[in-house]
Amino acid sequence: MSTAPDALRLDLDGAWGEAFPGVPTLDLRDWGPRLRFCAPARLIEDFWDEIAPRLRPHRGAPLLYGSGDFHHLAGLWVRRGFEAGKEAAPLTLLSFDNHPDWAWTPPQWACGGWINRALDLPGVAEAAVWGCGNMELAWPARLLGNRRAVRAGRLHLFPWRERFAALPSGAWPWLERATWRERFASFLAARKGKRFYVTIDLDGLRAEETLTDWENGLFTLDDLAWALEQVREAGRLAGGDLCGAASGPGTYARPVQRLLARIDHPALPPRSEEERRSGAQLNARAAARLLPLLRSTE
């Protein structure tokens, strides 16, 4: 059992099990099936109306929530960066994720397209997704992504070169394992003194260091800890959140929601009870290390 980090846990699906019993927790299990994978905009706003006042006493604390099926809620969490008032400076949103989450297709609020909801916010100047490694950036799937935001310079995608060996060298600003830290440091140097918000989906980590409900990326835990330290040195951290622990197939409130989730989810091999226990320990280790670095510096 890991030492409790300074965070607020939002229990939507039981993904974190018995980890961090000392962390303040909001029981949101009644919302979980309605929000998992996707939700109508009106339901998202109803949820925000209920949850926002409950978050305010924990201002500055990073949020720990469920499976990556709930990553679209980061489009709500980033709003916390503007609660101080309209005078708050614009944010650069940094996402560490194996998926770009940039789809323009409906539903609007879904874990595969939430970056666009963040970019809808007037206070978000730009977003950058680091460590993409799945087929959404290859042809023809990339036609469903928000390429307009990429061309406008508001959305930056940095995928792993080795995951897209068939694509031309100029297709994306590629990351290489040996040099990616240099590219990240250069990105931050161009934004010295800016405000940042950071969201992490654990599926961006390699499979040896986490157990998720999605495909895994190539970051190590050391990589992500280093990156967060660089962000804290480069500018002001307005806040952060972390999701991506495995919670299994889950339950859904609406048939269409269940169908879309089934279509989009990868076919993962069955996991034994021992694999789940070991994976839960890995996830708790990752969260215990990363959450303190996600606390706001404002």
Residue 26 lies in a domain: yes
Query: What mean pLDDT is reported for the chain?
Result: 94
Nearest to 223 by CA among 196, 205, 202: 205
Residue 119 lies in a domain: yes
| Integer angstrom CA distances of residue 125 from 22, 97, 191, 222 | 36, 19, 11, 28
Residue 283 lies in a domain: yes
- Dist CA 210 CA 271 (whole Å): 13
Q: In this predicted model, what pLDDT tens digit does every residue of 239-256 receive, in sequence order? A: 999 999 999 888 999 999
The mean pLDDT value for 52-68 works out to 96
The CA radius of gyration of the chain, in Å to the nearest whole number, is 18
Residue 3 lies in a domain: no
pLDDT given at position 1? 43
Chain centre distance of CA 104 = 17
Distance separating the N- and C-terminal Cα atoms of the chain? 30
- Dist CA 216 CA 163 (whole Å): 11
Indicate the pTM of the whole model. 0.96
Give the residues across from 94 on adjacent strands: 128, 198
Residue 1 lies in a domain: no
SS3 state at 52:
helix
Q: What is the CATH number of the domain that holds 265?
A: 3.40.800.10
Q: Is the pLDDT of residue 297 over 70?
A: yes
Q: In this predicted model, what pLDDT tens digit does every residue of 8-47 receive, in sequence order? A: 999 999 999 989 999 999 999 999 999 999 999 999 999 9
Chain centre distance of CA 89 = 22
Residue 80 lies in a domain: yes
- Dist CA 235 CA 136 (whole Å): 31
Q: Where are the alpha helices (DSSP H) in 56-179?
A: 74-77, 114-120, 147-151
SS3 state at 131:
strand
SS3 state at 27:
strand
pLDDT given at position 139? 86
Structural domain including 113 reads 8-294
| Integer angstrom CA distances of residue 291 from 121, 198, 209, 216 | 25, 11, 16, 20
Residue 235 lies in a domain: yes
Length of the chain: 298
Domain total of the chain: 1
Residue 2 lies in a domain: no
Joined tokens for residue 52: 């926002």
Q: What is the dihedral of CA 191, 111, 16, 288, to 10 degrees?
A: -10
Joined tokens for residue 125: 């100047």
Q: In this predicted model, what pLDDT tens digit does every residue of 95-136 receive, in sequence order? A: 999 999 999 999 999 999 999 999 999 999 999 999 999 888
Cα 178-235-124 angle, rounded to 5 deg = 95
Q: In this predicted model, what pLDDT tens digit does every residue of 171-201 receive, in sequence order? A: 999 999 999 999 999 999 999 999 999 999 9
Cα 136-185-154 angle, rounded to 5 deg = 45
